[in-house]
Chains A and B, each alone.
Chain A
Amino acid sequence: MVDLSAPTSAPLATAPSRTEAGPSGRKPRRSISRANIFLYGTLIVFALYYLLPLYVMIVTSLKGMPEIRMGNIFSPPMEITFEPWAKAWSTACTGLNCDGLSRGFWNSVQILIPSVVLSIAVASVNGYALANWRFKGADTFFTILIFGAFIPYQVMLYPIVILLREMGLYGSLTGLVLVHTVFGMPILTLLFRNYFTSMPEELFKAARVDGAGFWGIYFKIMLPMSLPIFVVAIILQVTGIWNDFLFGVIYTRPDLYPMTVQLNNIVNSVQGVKEYNVNMAATILTGLVPLTIYFISGKLFVRGIAAGAVKG
């Protein structure tokens, strides 16, 4: 057959320019048009509202105490000192131990990793089972689970203390990991279920036809395609578990207390006068891990949320 792709010159003779006077070509858009002012204006005003606290935290954490007492919290620091950060990290005292937040940091990491891994693994399997393997009663359990998302933690404190005691896990790291898995499960399962239901049905049917079983499909087909929702799950769980104070302090012992307990102790124990700069430095330090994880995967988070929440 003849090769048709060869480009052909324009058959019509290029007539002389026929454009007349009057508007022609791209419409000149004034870059400072009224719509743009409103658009960027509102965004900037909201951006300031959102950035204000971060600005205050950073600025105050770099000031010495005299400068704080005298000036107001919005003025930039005259002479910047990192002493409050050092103190918050290593020397701030909570009761007897004066080793700042550092002790809590490694505890938090030790709590975070297993909790995030376990809770996401369990929730993703739940979501997958609910989405593709409709078994009788599955939806009723799911509704109970969603109902669980609404129950305030305080209500469940006591029953879980008893539950863990009977299982002999009270006060141990495993106990806390289990608690985080339980309380993370509702919303995560909801997200995973929505995500997997939005996946094309044919994919799942094709795999079934090829003889792949429940786990085969999960690992070979579903998992590889669910990076966005995994990112969302990781961000939600990391922020939730890292920032938790209540469970960390009730279900573990002092040598396992997460960083938030140290933060609470530093901020709430007043050596003479309240050291705002150390408190703020400690606050930023505690928020650093979830913030960094969020900054790294912000974009994926939006795409994941789209798939996870929208198709619900």
Chain B
Amino acid sequence: MTSVSIKDLSLNFGEVKVLKTLNLDIGDGEFLVLLGPSGCGKSTLLNCIAGLLDVSEGQIFIKGRNVTWEEPKDRGIGMVFQSYALYPQMTVEGNLAFGLKNARVPKDEIDRRIARAAEVLQIEPLLKRKPAQLSGGQRQRVAIGRALVRDVDVFLFDEPLSNLDAKLRAELRVEIKRLHHRLKNTMIYVTHDQIEALTLADRIAIMRNGIIQQLASPHEIYNKPVNLYVAGFMGSPGMNFLEGAFAPQGASELSFGVTRVPLERYPFVSDERPGKVIFGIRPEHVTCGPAAESEPFNTEVEIEVVEPMGADTLVWAILDGREFRFRVDGQSQLREGDRVRIGFDPAKASIFDAATELRL
């Protein structure tokens, strides 16, 4: 049974079409991440699901119930905002209880729920404090608690971690994951940070200009990007893109400049063979040094810049006159100007039609 299902949803502010006939089904207990640059409509979609924005066309179902015209409070959803949106003048306990008191939930039930939420989020010592006295992480947990106590079916997160520093963001990311395992609720999470998406999501929906580019598991999206945009968006440092064309005799080889890449091992998904293509390979899929010999394709490149980053080192090199990046172990002694042999297995690569940018 799908937890949240969106059918032909469109939303336009005046003439601007923000969401264009969008369809999405989210399974029960699934953790779906809406990923995309700012202005791609991901937050707007979340607000539509929450009922904070009236849709122009289409329907929204939660737990099979048509909630398109329902008020947010009747949709069984809880929402956590980027700015936490805690009520500043109330204590943590006040914040948690405010929604319940308003819904006339009996006192003892309120206390029970608060106790449970406090235990799950380890915020028992904070109940009597005011939001101003809490750290960013603690405030975020209280914001989650506010949805938790209302036993909602679906949790909505609107870039909750972007106000925190990197270290705290990593800690809270793990906590949210743990929370998801424990509660098994459906969660819809909006972010522009691909690390959060990759680590948290059961499935990721990459959005651009109001359209879902690809809806798939993190692994699928990272390794099998369905178009050039998704490929470019995921991964940092980003995928290497090399413009090239099929060698004249059939699809067995790809040529750019003087280099020839054998494609027997490449899993084609479409049988089109357009004139110009874009060949993509991720830096970490490239092996360097003596081991490169055994790769189906290997060549020699000259190193231009070396960027040591502690755990590993990113090397900027020139392959057949084009910029090419690959990753090596953190201890490597490579220096600018060295000539080194690199190689990769085309099976891990992606090829896109230069015109339609679609995966071949």
Binding site for B on A (CB under 8 A): 1-2, 4, 6-12, 14-15, 17-20, 22-27
Contacts and interface: CB of A to CB of B under 8 A. Distances in A.
Interface stretch (B208-216, B258-266, B292-300): B208-216
B59 A8 contact: no
B59 A20 contact: yes
Given A12-B23, A27-B69, A19 B357 contact: no
Interface in B47-72: 54-59, 66, 68-69
Nearest to A2: B241
B214 A24 contact: no
Interface in B310-340: none
Given A15-B23, A26-B56, 5 more contacts: A8-B227, A8-B357, A18-B7, A20-B66, A27-B68
Interface residues of B, number: 32
Nearest to B226: A11
Given A11-B214, A19-B7, A27 B232 contact: no
A25 B66 contact: no
B243 A23 contact: no
B358 interface: yes
Given A19-B8, A25-B55, A25-B57, A11 B358 contact: yes
A26 B211 contact: no
B243 A11 contact: no
B110 interface: no
B66 A23 contact: yes
A27 B59 CA distance: 11
Nearest to B6: A18
Contacts of A15: 23
A23 B213 CA distance: 28
Contact of A26 (B54, B214, B243): B54
A2 B232 contact: yes
A251 to B, nearest CB: 48
A6 B209 CA distance: 12
B226 to A, nearest CB: 5
Contact of B21 (A14, A24, A26): A14
Contacts of B57: 24-26
B8 A18 contact: yes
A8 B57 CA distance: 23
Nearest to B232: A4
B229 interface: yes
Contacts of B23: 12, 15, 18
Contacts of A10: 20, 211
A8 B229 contact: yes
B241 A17 contact: no
B278 interface: yes
A152 B357 CA distance: 77
A1 B322 CA distance: 10
Contact of A24 (B20, B58, B212): B58
A20 B7 CA distance: 9
Interface in B155-198: none
A8 B68 contact: no
B75 to A, nearest CB: 12
A12 to B, nearest CB: 7
Contacts of A27: 54, 68-69
Contacts of B212: 12
7 contacts: A2-B228, A2-B243, A11-B227, A20-B7, A24-B59, A24-B68, A27-B68
Contacts of A1: 241
Contacts of B211: 10
A7 B209 contact: yes
Interface in B239-276: 241, 243
B102 interface: no
Contacts of B236: none
A11 B66 contact: no
B135 interface: no
